[in-house]
Amino acid sequence: MTFLGAADIDGALQRLGKRLLYDYVKPIALVVCGGSALNVLNLASRTTRDVDVLATVEETGNGIRLRHDKPLPKGFHEVVAEVGRDLGLDEDWLNMGPKNVLKIYGAPQGMTERWKRRDYGPNLTVYFVGRLDQVHLKLLAAADPKAEPRHMEDLLIRIKPTAEETRAAVTWLLDRKTSPPFRGYVRCAVEALGYDNISHSIPE
């Protein structure tokens, strides 16, 4: 089963939040990106298979800390599986598939100021990644030569990033040591968006 849109995703998260409370599972906060975030924030309307978690969130004395390096707690994961069975979803319908993104690239600057918070009861908080940061993440996904076409479709058809947004995403992607093939993939993705002037600025 897939999520048909925002209502399905919200419903599953509401159910998850209630089950976490009833089962006395420790409260958790998640950063969510991908198709589920696009739907919930009304940036797009399309089906999606799962809820992609970039990281969990810890509040410390020094502010917010994004934990991509820790797996989802066992008790939480068990409740996710239970909700999946209840709703006819895969047991891992909520997962940390994209966790390595933050490990390799770090979070786009200002992401934690742009995300949108939603509380699904006292035990589940979800921070949905905002539009600009979705452009960053989707451009990274679309630049993968093995990527499914939905990532470029999200950019071209649904998000429709501006030149400024695209340039910011490229800067984030290349703000580290990169290989010529990777820069070539990014260049091709940017050209597909119609921003040849930006693609020409990407070094060989």
153-172: pLDDT as tens digits: 999 999 999 999 999 999 99
Are residues 158 and 122 located together in one domain of the fold? no
Within a domain: 204? no
How does residue 59 score in pLDDT terms, banded at 50, 70 and 90?
confident
CA distance 146 to 4: 25
The number of folded domains in the chain is 2
**Residue written as token pair 């939905």:** 150
Out of 98, 129, 160, pick the residue that ends a domain: 129
In this model, does residue 61 exceed pLDDT 90?
no
State the maximum Cα–Cα separation within the chain, in Å, rounded to a whole number. Answer: 55
* Alpha helices, DSSP H, located in the chain: 6-22, 34-40, 74-87, 100-105, 111-114, 131-142, 150-153, 163-174, 180-192, 196-199
In this model, does residue 132 exceed pLDDT 80?
yes
Are residues 33 and 111 located together in one domain of the fold? yes
What is the extent of the structural domain holding 62? 6-129
Are residues 137 and 102 located together in one domain of the fold? no
Q: What pLDDT does residue 60 have?
A: 78
In this model, does residue 126 exceed pLDDT 90?
yes
Are residues 122 and 186 located together in one domain of the fold? no
Are residues 87 and 143 located together in one domain of the fold? no
Are residues 175 and 187 located together in one domain of the fold? yes
8-45: pLDDT as tens digits: 999 999 999 999 999 999 999 999 999 999 999 999 99
In this model, does residue 88 exceed pLDDT 90?
yes
In this model, does residue 141 exceed pLDDT 90?
yes
Please give the average per-residue pLDDT across 107-119, as a whole number.
Answer: 96
Are residues 79 and 95 located together in one domain of the fold? yes
Are residues 95 and 195 located together in one domain of the fold? no
CA distance 42 to 148: 22
pTM, to two decimals: 0.94
Within a domain: 63? yes
How does residue 64 score in pLDDT terms, banded at 50, 70 and 90?
confident
Are residues 122 and 142 located together in one domain of the fold? no
In this model, does residue 185 exceed pLDDT 90?
yes
In this model, does residue 1 exceed pLDDT 80?
no
